[in-house]
Structure 1
Amino acid sequence: MDGDSAYQQLLREERQKHHNNRFPPTSYMDTHSDQVSAFVSKKLPQFLAAGVATLGALGLGTVLGYTSPALPDIKNSTTFSHLVESQHSWIGSIAPIGACVSGPVAGFLVDAFGRKKCMLFVAPLFILGWLLIAFAEYIEMIFAGRFITGFCGGTFSLAAPVYISETAESSIRGTLGSSLQLMINCGVLVTYVVGYFLEWNWLALVCASIPAGFFVGMIFMPESPRYLMSKKDKVGASNALKWLRGASQHQQVKDELNTLQASIEECEVPEFKAMFSKSIMKPLGISLALMFFQQWNGNNAIVFYTVDIFNDAGSTLDPKIATIIVGCVQVVASVVAAILMDKAGRRVLLLLSGALMTAALCVLGGFFYMKEEDPSVIEYLGWLPLLCLMVFIVAFSLGFGPIAWLLAGEILPPNVKGRASALATSFNWLNTFVVTKVFDNIKMGLGIEWCFWIFGIAAFLGDIFVILFVPETKGKTLDEIQMNFKSKTDQHDVGRGHGCTAQL
């Protein structure tokens, strides 16, 4: 019996061991659950801060998307039915002028008053711009409103990426940075959907609610720890880091705070001659080039005039419905880009983006060329413009859309980030203005097919530039990214206490 009992005990132990291998003990599951909960609680404040900041990007998206559904309504309204075509084009293109002007102003504000206060300053002005459009009785009021909303949207396009890059950890910086483009696309989609149901003036009132919501939410968010430390506010920087990292004690963020302080102490704002050093000019040149290619692939021209493009294509689908479909695809693609950003890497997504945009734009140009030669092509290829625009939007949202802004926040040296970001932002919006303004001129002078072929050539050249010059920044700290741009002499100087490395 004793032998049988021992055998039975051994058998029960083996069965229990096998069961535990298949179904982990509750204590293990609880431990794993606790780890997940701890991770979420640690990262959640950073996602929340980025989410509120990107409400400004949502507002920018409404500025970009507004004219597509609103301009046809304005043309048909009794108040503005007398407008000529040149005035219509100014309604679309004057917003980028405001955004271009915002660059130097925003660059000064983010350095002088902080990233958070800069965005809070412009939110009421943003609301005012939309109200001018909503209650416009004269075309000058619409022009003024478009200029002001463009100015405010441009300010957010500079301040929000800087704020996010300085509050997010490197492991999620790419995901949070790419959320800017996601929110811009969501803003565009909002105007497409609401514009389908509401007239242009009521649409402007809906758009005004977004900066109002941002203003309320941003009041409760912390300032950038790096900015606070640069202003010698160590207590404020510590409190901001504790909130952002989900920490309860100063000791939990002490190492990061000390690294941040050391980085700032090493930073020196360079003299004018030093601005032309390789460590500054190379990342600035890359940022400016990416801004150029981002705009000359024609994205904003397409967003501004999507309804008109479908009208020109003679599509049998309601142009406003087709526009909403394009907007939905754009948002979904932005979500995918946010997921892939810290997995696939920046260069891979840029190259894929450029290749797909080139193909889509060339085919779309070919469609319009064939339509001009034989209008009956619409009968069997009427679906092609929608397909090409969907491919183009997906490609743009995966790469050049978010990454041009993300890389600007990553590669620009922190000691000149305000000035360099201002220059990059103004350059971006200057090109936006030129592209949207000349779109109609090219269409009238050469034909709409050449609009898309020119954009396709720019997309192809953008890929060549990425292959030759753009570095991969996935998974690297801002400190490591900056060291890649420094010459051996610069790195030697850093070792002696000069120059700047960036651990944000």
Structure 2
Amino acid sequence: MKSIIRRFKGSRTIPQVVAICIGSLSLLTACVQYAWTSPYIPIITSEDFPGNITFEEASYFTVIPPLTAIGLCAVFSKLADRIGRKRVLILSGPVHFAAYVLIYFGRTVTPFYISRFLSGLGDAILWASLPVYVAEISEPHVRGTWGNVPAISGYVGQVLINVLGSYLHLQTSTILSAIVPVVFCCAFAFMPESPYFLLARGRHEEAQKSLRLLRGGQNCDDEYKQLTRDVNRQLSETGTLKDLFLIKSNRRALFIAVGARAASQMSGIAAFTVHTQYLFEQAGQNISKELSSITFSAVLLVLATLGAFYQDKFGRRPLMIGSCLGCGFILLVETVYFYLNDKTSVDLSGLRWVPLAGMILYLFCFSFGLSLIPSLLVGELFSTSIKANAMIVTNIFFDGFICVITKVFQTLTYNFGLYVPFLIFTVSCFINAIRSYLFLLETRGKTLEEIQQMLKK
């Protein structure tokens, strides 16, 4: 670990890391709002809450954000190509803040619906700009480790809202959560724009200034000249939505990016998230739902943070394959356990520790590959000319998967038992391990232009 940390102590690296960390505050806020429903739907639908909101009405809180993001991601992906990644990303701050204001004053279901719409709007904004911004401002060795900060900040957001929701009143936690988008806007306003975007818009002096700021004021003339050639070559290619599917390199990048996102969603993380308390109970640990959720999200945060520092050591491809295989074998054991527990009379009293132990091992395997690499690949794989359209398609698939997987998981669990969705996730992990072995590119240590040349081979 010390050798890894020493690599990032140079002044050339620090500005890139700072820009990535501040930009990632937008995703921290988004994940706070995404996970907000877990601790607060029971409170809002209780008899003590003044709005008389029913559970049926509150059930739409989880659906509105991804549907909104699907409908609006095209607008902000195009806007990021017109006015810049930085300007679009900073818009997420006021949007998320407005969502908190509505939560604070909400007493009936309508303000909460509008708040959830704004949350989805913020998601559309940041997913159209943040992955691209992080990839374009950072050097390969920085991107390999610190490019995972957005995903890690998302886990921080989940831990934060689980803690706040467990111990604080709705209004109090809302005030504290609303501080984050304010800090993000104030700090990110001083961050430089992506030099890739500035070169693509013909703003060469600004691009050179931005690159110099991101490299700590050091001489970067050679890098600037190479970057100019790379952007000009990429812009010489057509970038329509049709080209995303017709040009082989674009189609290959899309297949890898969407496949990685699908692999993450189909890996079973939702199953463990929803049934954390049940797994603790099976192990004989009678703890509250709140504490089990905090424990789960905190363990995932710690393991994902550790995993981020080893991606450049082992590479994306081996870690993704290993993550899929590890999760697959663990899910297979869990599937057998739940089948025996639900459908047979086999005595499992001596094996009650299996579900909880499986969850911990699963989080270890998930955190080193499936939790981080998909988001990183989205920012790395696409040419400058096609990025806007690529963000539209990948975000539609991502939000669509969230909606479908959540509903399918609930339906299968209710009608057939827990072992059926676990079996589906098991098969999915093994399939995605094979897909990663056959098709996933190793982007470790590669510039964005080098990745484009790999895609063309």
Tell me what 1:255 maps to: 222
User: Can you list the C-alpha shifts for 1:253-288, whole angstroms capped at 9, x where unaligned?
Assistant: 211111122222222251656441111111111111
Contact 2:43 2:49 in 1 (8 A): no
Tell me what 1:388 maps to: 358
Which residues in structure 2 correspond to 1:238-249 (within 5 Å)? 238-247=208-217
User: Is 2:321 aligned against 1:354?
Assistant: no
SS in 2 for 1:232: coil
Tell me what 1:151 maps to: 121
Q: Please report how far the alpha carbon of residue 365 of structure 1 lies from its aligned counterpart in structure 2 after TM superposition.
A: 3.6
Contact 2:31 2:154 in 1 (8 A): yes
SS in 2 for 1:401: coil
Q: Label 1:309 to 1:123 Cα distance change in 2 as closer, same or farther (>3 A).
A: farther
Task: Tell me how far apart the structure 1 counterparts of residues 345 and 22 of structure 2 sit (CA, whole Å).
Answer: 48
Range that drifts further, 259-268 or 76-85: 76-85
Tell me what 1:435 maps to: 405
Task: Tell me how far apart the structure 1 counterparts of residues 259 and 410 of structure 2 sit (CA, whole Å).
Answer: 24
User: Is 2:166 aligned against 1:196?
Assistant: yes
Task: Tell me how far apart the structure 2 counterparts of residues 134 and 146 of structure 1 sit (CA, whole Å).
Answer: 13
Tell me what 1:333 maps to: 303
Which residues in structure 2 correspond to 1:13-52 (within 5 Å)? 39-52=9-22
Q: Please report how far the alpha carbon of residue 186 of structure 1 lies from its aligned counterpart in structure 2 after TM superposition.
A: 0.9
1:477 to 422, 447, 450: 447
Task: Tell me how far apart the structure 2 counterparts of residues 199 and 380 of structure 1 sit (CA, whole Å).
Answer: 41
Task: Tell me how far apart the structure 2 counterparts of residues 260 and 467 of structure 1 sit (CA, whole Å).
Answer: 31
Task: Tell me how far apart the structure 2 counterparts of residues 346 and 132 of structure 1 sit (CA, whole Å).
Answer: 41
Q: Label 1:205 to 1:336 Cα distance change in 2 as closer, same or farther (>3 A).
A: same
Q: Label 1:63 to 1:263 Cα distance change in 2 as closer, same or farther (>3 A).
A: same
SS in 1 for 2:238: coil
User: Is 2:425 aligned against 1:458?
Assistant: no
Contact 1:192 1:323 in 2 (8 A): yes
Range that drifts further, 383-392 or 324-333: 383-392
SS in 2 for 1:40: coil
Q: Please report how far the alpha carbon of residue 226 of structure 1 lies from its aligned counterpart in structure 2 after TM superposition.
A: 1.0
User: Can you list the C-alpha shifts for 1:199-220, whole angstroms capped at 9, x where unaligned?
Assistant: 4454333332222221111011
Which residues in structure 2 correspond to 1:146-225 (within 5 Å)? 146-225=116-195
Task: Tell me how far apart the structure 2 counterparts of residues 310 and 385 of structure 1 sit (CA, whole Å).
Answer: 6
Contact 2:208 2:224 in 1 (8 A): yes
Tell me what 1:8 maps to: none
Structure with the bigger percentage of helix: 1
SS in 2 for 1:316: coil
Q: Label 1:237 to 1:320 Cα distance change in 2 as closer, same or farther (>3 A).
A: same
Range that drifts further, 425-434 or 443-452: 443-452
Tell me what 2:67 maps to: 97
Q: Please report how far the alpha carbon of residue 105 of structure 1 lies from its aligned counterpart in structure 2 after TM superposition.
A: 2.2
Aligned residue type for 2:20: A
Q: Label 1:378 to 1:198 Cα distance change in 2 as closer, same or farther (>3 A).
A: farther
Gaps spanning 5+ residues in structure 2: where? 1-5
Q: Please report how far the alpha carbon of residue 130 of structure 1 lies from its aligned counterpart in structure 2 after TM superposition.
A: 2.4
User: Can you list the C-alpha shifts for 1:270-318, whole angstroms capped at 9, x where unaligned?
Assistant: 1656441111111111111112222122334644x35665598685122
Q: Label 1:157 to 1:398 Cα distance change in 2 as closer, same or farther (>3 A).
A: farther
Contact 1:126 1:148 in 2 (8 A): yes
Task: Tell me how far apart the structure 2 counterparts of residues 172 and 72 of structure 1 sit (CA, whole Å).
Answer: 42
Contact 1:69 1:307 in 2 (8 A): no
2:248 to 261, 265, 278: 278
Query: Whose Rg is larger?
Result: 1
SS in 1 for 2:36: helix
Tell me what 2:3 maps to: none
Range that drifts further, 154-163 or 167-176: 154-163
TM-score of the two chains, using structure 2 as the length reference: 0.90
Q: Label 1:442 to 1:142 Cα distance change in 2 as closer, same or farther (>3 A).
A: farther
Contact 1:315 1:382 in 2 (8 A): no
Contact 1:133 1:146 in 2 (8 A): no
Q: Please report how far the alpha carbon of residue 345 of structure 1 lies from its aligned counterpart in structure 2 after TM superposition.
A: 0.2
Q: Label 1:366 to 1:51 Cα distance change in 2 as closer, same or farther (>3 A).
A: same
Contact 1:301 1:439 in 2 (8 A): yes
Tell me what 1:16 maps to: none
SS in 2 for 1:203: helix
Q: Please report how far the alpha carbon of residue 354 of structure 1 lies from its aligned counterpart in structure 2 after TM superposition.
A: 0.8
SS in 2 for 1:42: coil
Gaps spanning 5+ residues in structure 1: where? 1-35, 488-504
Q: Please report how far the alpha carbon of residue 222 of structure 1 lies from its aligned counterpart in structure 2 after TM superposition.
A: 0.5
SS in 2 for 1:264: helix
CA RMSD of aligned residues (A): 2.7
SS in 2 for 1:414: coil
SS in 2 for 1:413: coil
Task: Tell me how far apart the structure 1 counterparts of residues 303 and 160 of structure 2 sit (CA, whole Å).
Answer: 16
Tell me what 2:108 maps to: 138
Aligned residue type for 1:265: N
Q: Please report how far the alpha carbon of residue 83 of structure 1 lies from its aligned counterpart in structure 2 after TM superposition.
A: 5.6
Aligned length: 448
Contact 2:95 2:121 in 1 (8 A): no
